[in-house]
Amino acid sequence: MPMGHATAEAISPDGGHASQLEAIRSDMLRFALLQLRDKPAAEDAVQEALAAAWEGLGRFDGRGSFKSWVYAILRYKIIDRIRQRSREPIAEIDPGAGFDALFDRRGFWLPEERPADWGDPLQELENAQFWRIFDACLNRLPKGTARVFMMREFLGLETGEICQELGMKANHCWVVLHRARMGLRLCLESDWFESGRGGYVEL
């Protein structure tokens, strides 16, 4: 198919096409899998996004990177799947449970639960070990909570759009997003920032 050549050209004019495409595909799969938590569904979404990218190659103007373009398509494919699933009821989120234990009776942080100073956490973004912990923490969030959080932070949807897609009230959406952040920060603090930041201390 002549298209194949065109796709490869779009990814990189100077060679290494197949391996680049494979690397993008594997990133896309990880991206989709984190959000859908269902391997066949994630693989389908990636496949469809790549196929759509392939077909629409003529519309790719080459100004942005091929990767951002194919990710823009992947976002739609993921949202499609979430929309299909939103008809299945999300397990109801228990409004009070979980984080009350971090606060005293007046609602102030208990001394041992007070959020710590993470220093300059941006340097962690280069650390593969950090990302392993980050993904594990994401996967530990309840499914419905994680779904809302990732629509907000991975897919970049506005809260109003999320509510609409999932048929939730805005207020409920905010509560769920807050619970996701509380859960994720607690997990990262205990499993990364306060535990020697991964591999360093094990040496």
Which spans of this chain sit near another protein (rule: CB under 8 A)? 27-28, 30-31, 34, 65, 67-68, 70-71, 103, 106-109, 114-118, 121-122, 124-126, 128, 131, 134, 150, 152-154, 159, 170, 173-174, 177-178, 181-182, 184-185, 188-189
Q: What are phi and psi of 110, to 5 degrees?
A: -65, 145
Residue 109: what are its φ and ψ, rounded to 5°?
A: -55, 135
Rank residues 9 and 27 by Cβ distance to another protein and give the closer one.
27
CB nearer to another protein: pick between 5 and 104 = 104
Least distance between another protein and beta carbon 1 (Å): 25
Least CB distance to another protein at residue 83 (A): 20
Shortest reach from residue 106's CB to another protein, in Å: 6
Task: Select 5 or 72, whichever has its Cβ closest to another protein.
Answer: 72
Per-residue CA distances from 151 to 142, 157, 188 (Å): 14, 6, 20
Q: Which residues 6+ apart lie within 8 Å of 102 measured at CB?
A: 109, 110, 113, 182, 186
Closer Cβ to another protein, 58 or 171, answer by number: 171
User: Would you give the distance in Å from CA 185 to the centre of its chain?
Assistant: 15
Q: What is the DSSP string of 20-44?
A: HHHHHHHHHHHHHHHHH--HHHHHH
Least distance (Å) between residue 20 CB and another protein: 13
In the three-class reduction of DSSP (H, G, I as helix; E, B as strand; rest coil), residue 33 is classed as helix
